[in-house]
């Protein structure tokens, strides 16, 4: 195994968190444990690091997951350079008497948590100091200077100390990098909820997520989904709030758990005083087009996630604004001003925006307090204009007796455009894939500037009688092809002209001037024309850019050989006429199979055949 890698590079799997349901909470629950991990993100912990790799954010180390296979690990970005630091700031001063450090075990792809006796040989941290802040400087906890380590789990128990933050200073590690799967800080302080006249959900205890085991990750996994929740703690999100109650830390709302019974909710600390706000800062700029807000459902003690159709009567948010930061001020997303709400889940899809943070401003709520179980912000996986990796590259093979798409790259088509973005090349529109999720779309590079043009040059002259234009459907991350009845609301091309080249100029095909379009698929059938190229001239589009998933041009010849041979019909006719004599009349029936010729007069056509 090569130095510096976990099977080349440690994979960073995306966990599917399926926590074990906690006990059913009473309206004024009392924790049934005296031990709390105050470093946990859901308890208000905020992680930071001296450096981090993409996919190795420090927040992963305080997500409650103790094995690498399920959610990964914090990983520094300075190979073989030490010290590296992972720090956790608590939600205020905490009295702790134990810190646990979880390293990467040798069988890293096994989603079972390590045991306290387990040792490592390949990816562990071998020398490190465990420290706390004494209000003026960093102090190493008793027995916290660790050298020659080979334990996957390092558990340090000491006399109680009060501090606002801890850190691990890694002085040496295996395989080139510092990696910490989980960092825990334990306190014996029990916080009892204050009873209130109205049942106010407050978690019985802080659950330890017990994720469903995932498949063994490959060394360099490729995400199978086109969506990523960039607000999630494990993806680098950091939550804050205008105020928060004991047991209602802001970090609970970005732990990936969508029901109150399992991990609780953010809850403000100013009853009946509005607005309240919950904010999530991303790990850098992100391009998002969906924000989901989860409230508390009526049967809050049921650990089943709510459905999109579920409504509430008791503890929900009734009036709120969903906003993003535009670099200088807060902007409400399209349809983000919500009033008279009764939905447990509010899902808002809007034209894509690039931002570093989002927030929910609560203007009114039931039962005195603002409560948000989960706040999600969704972006494409990869670049702004994602280029998904197709599961396979379609290579259509022409079959006799069917239409032929002569625009297809595998049939000789060559695409070009007025402009293009990285990841939005025109060739994507002639690859045979009709949905965005699998291979993406052509996308221009001049926002809100029209016209934009996508052109396809054929492999010589072609006789066509149909052109189909595929836009981006609303559920773009679904790899199913759209239907002819599918309509769009967010990313489509609304005004455009479909044209062919007549050897001297561009001509719009019959009915090819499209305005106020909302169809994902525009299918134009017309009397056959002979041409060497076609184009789509986009005059207006949604969400700032022109996007075309696929552009097709169809020939209705009975087989591909016939269609291809049509290039030289006039040459063939001349040769035949020279052979049989000018007095013969020859009629070419293009619709006849294999170029049947009908001849009047005397000839030796049969000899020519």
Predicted confidence at residue 380, as pLDDT, reads 63
Please give the average per-residue pLDDT across 520-540, as a whole number. 95
Predicted confidence at residue 74, as pLDDT, reads 96
230 pLDDT exceeds 70? yes
pLDDT tens for each residue of 254-263: 999 999 998 8
pLDDT tens for each residue of 560-607: 434 444 444 444 445 444 444 443 333 433 333 333 334 333 333 333
Predicted confidence at residue 477, as pLDDT, reads 84
Residues linked to residue 281 through DSSP beta bridges, in sequence order: 238, 357
Please give the average per-residue pLDDT across 541-555, as a whole number. 95
35 pLDDT exceeds 50? yes
More confident residue, 213 or 135: 135
Pairwise CA distance, residues 282 & 360, whole Å: 14
245 pLDDT exceeds 50? yes
181 C-beta neighbours (distance < 10 Å), count: 28
Residues linked to residue 154 through DSSP beta bridges, in sequence order: 101
Q: Which two tokens stand for residue 547?
A: 């996007």
Predicted confidence at residue 55, as pLDDT, reads 85
Predicted confidence at residue 402, as pLDDT, reads 57
The model's confidence at residue 223, banded by pLDDT at 50, 70 and 90, is very low
177 pLDDT exceeds 80? yes
19 C-beta neighbours (distance < 10 Å), count: 20
Average pLDDT over the chain, rounded to whole? 80
Choice among 82-91, 197-206, 282-291 with the minimum mean pLDDT? 197-206
Predicted confidence at residue 226, as pLDDT, reads 61
Handedness of CA 574, 576, 579, 581 (dihedral sign): negative
Biggest CA–CA distance in the chain, Å, is: 114
Tell me the percentage of the chain whose pLDDT exceeds 90: 66
Q: Please return the burial class of 494, using the count of CB atoms within 10 Å of its CB with bins 0-12, 13-18 and 19+.
A: middle
Q: Please return the burial class of 486, using the count of CB atoms within 10 Å of its CB with bins 0-12, 13-18 and 19+.
A: middle
Please give the average per-residue pLDDT across 355-378, as a whole number. 96
Please give the average per-residue pLDDT across 482-487, as a whole number. 94
Pairwise CA distance, residues 475 & 429, whole Å: 18
pLDDT tens for each residue of 398-408: 334 457 999 99
Half-sphere exposure of 313 (CA within 13 A, CB side): 2
The model's confidence at residue 501, banded by pLDDT at 50, 70 and 90, is very high
Contact 507, 453 (CB under 8 A): no
pLDDT tens for each residue of 271-330: 999 999 999 999 999 999 999 999 999 999 898 999 999 999 999 999 999 999 999 899
pLDDT tens for each residue of 124-142: 999 999 999 999 999 999 9
- Domains for the chain: give ranges and CATH numbers: 1-222 (2.60.120.260), 226-382 (2.60.120.260), 404-556 (2.60.120.260), 568-608 (no CATH)
Choice among 27-31, 161-165, 373-377 with the minimum mean pLDDT? 27-31
3-state secondary structure 365-420: ECCCCCEECEEEEEEECCCCCCCCCCCCCCCCCCCCCCCEECCCHHHCCEEEECCC
Predicted confidence at residue 578, as pLDDT, reads 47
Q: Please return the burial class of 373, using the count of CB atoms within 10 Å of its CB with bins 0-12, 13-18 and 19+.
A: buried
Predicted confidence at residue 195, as pLDDT, reads 32
200 pLDDT exceeds 80? no
């Amino acid at each position: 195994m090569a130095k510096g890698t976990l099977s080349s590079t440690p994979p960073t799997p995306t966990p599917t968190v399926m926590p074990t349901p906690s006990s059913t909470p009473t309206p004024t629950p009392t924790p049934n444990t005296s031990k709390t991990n105050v470093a946990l993100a859901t308890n208000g912990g905020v992680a930071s690091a001296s450096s981090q790799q993409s996919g190795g954010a420090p927040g992963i180390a305080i997500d409650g997951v103790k094995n690498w296979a399920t959610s990964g690990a914090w990983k520094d970005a300075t190979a073989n350079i030490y010290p590296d630091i992972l720090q956790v700031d608590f939600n205020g001063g905490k009295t702790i008497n134990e810190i646990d450090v979880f390293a990467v075990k040798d069988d890293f792809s096994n989603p079972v948590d390590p045991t306290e006796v387990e040792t490592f040989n390949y990816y562990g941290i071998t020398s490190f100091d465990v420290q706390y802040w004494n209000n003026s400087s960093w102090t190493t906890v008793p027995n916290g200077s660790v050298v020659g380590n080979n334990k996957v789990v390092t558990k340090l128990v000491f006399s109680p100390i009060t501090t606002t933050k801890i850190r691990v200073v890694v002085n040496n590690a295996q395989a080139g990098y510092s990696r910490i799967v989980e960092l825990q800080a334990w306190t014996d302080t029990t916080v009892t909820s204050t009873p209130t006249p109205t049942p106010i959900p407050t978690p019985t205890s802080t659950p330890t997520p017990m994720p469903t085991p995932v498949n063994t990750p490959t060394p360099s996994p490729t995400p199978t989904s086109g969506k990523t929740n960039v607000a999630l703690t494990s993806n680098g999100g950091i939550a804050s709030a205008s105020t928060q109650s004991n047991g209602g830390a802001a970090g609970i709302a970005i732990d990936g758990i969508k029901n109150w019974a399992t991990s609780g909710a953010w809850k403000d600390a100013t009853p009946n005083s509005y607005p309240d706000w919950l904010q999530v800062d991303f790990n850098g700029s992100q391009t998002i087009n969906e924000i989901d807000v989860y409230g508390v459902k009526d049967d809050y003690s049921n650990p089943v996630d709510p459905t999109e159709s579920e409504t509430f009567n008791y503890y929900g948010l009734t009036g709120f604004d969903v906003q993003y930061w535009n670099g200088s001020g807060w902007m409400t997303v399209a349809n983000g001003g919500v009033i008279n709400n009764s939905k447990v889940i509010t899902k808002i899809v809007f034209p894509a925006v690039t931002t570093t943070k989002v927030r929910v401003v609560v203007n009114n709520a039931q039962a005195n307090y603002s409560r948000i179980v989960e706040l999600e912000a969704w972006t494409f996986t990869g670049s702004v204009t994602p280029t998904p990796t197709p599961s396979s590259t379609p290579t259509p093979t022409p079959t006799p007796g069917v239409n032929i798409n002569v625009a297809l790259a595998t049939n000789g088509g060559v695409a070009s455009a007025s402009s293009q973005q990285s990841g939005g090349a025109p060739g994507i529109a002639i690859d045979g894939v009709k949905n965005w999720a699998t291979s993406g779309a052509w996308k221009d590079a001049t926002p809100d500037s029209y016209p934009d043009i996508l052109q396809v040059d054929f492999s010589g002259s072609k006789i066509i009688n149909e052109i189909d234009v595929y836009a981006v459907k609303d559920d773009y991350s679904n790899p199913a092809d759209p239907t002819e009845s599918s309509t769009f609301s967010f990313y489509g091309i609304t005004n455009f002209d479909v044209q062919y080249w007549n050897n001297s100029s561009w001509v719009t095909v019959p009915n090819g001037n499209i305005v106020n379009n909302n169809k994902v698929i525009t299918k134009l059938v017309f009397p056959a024309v002979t041409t060497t190229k076609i184009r789509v001239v986009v005059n207006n589009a949604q969400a700032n850019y022109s996007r075309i998933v696929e552009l097709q041009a169809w020939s209705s010849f009975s087989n591909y050989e016939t269609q291809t041979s049509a290039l030289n019909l006039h040459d063939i006719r001349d040769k035949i006429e020279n052979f049989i004599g000018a007095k013969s009349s020859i009629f070419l029936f293009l619709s006849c199979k294999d170029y049947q010729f009908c001849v009047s007069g005397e000839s030796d056509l049969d000899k020519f055949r």
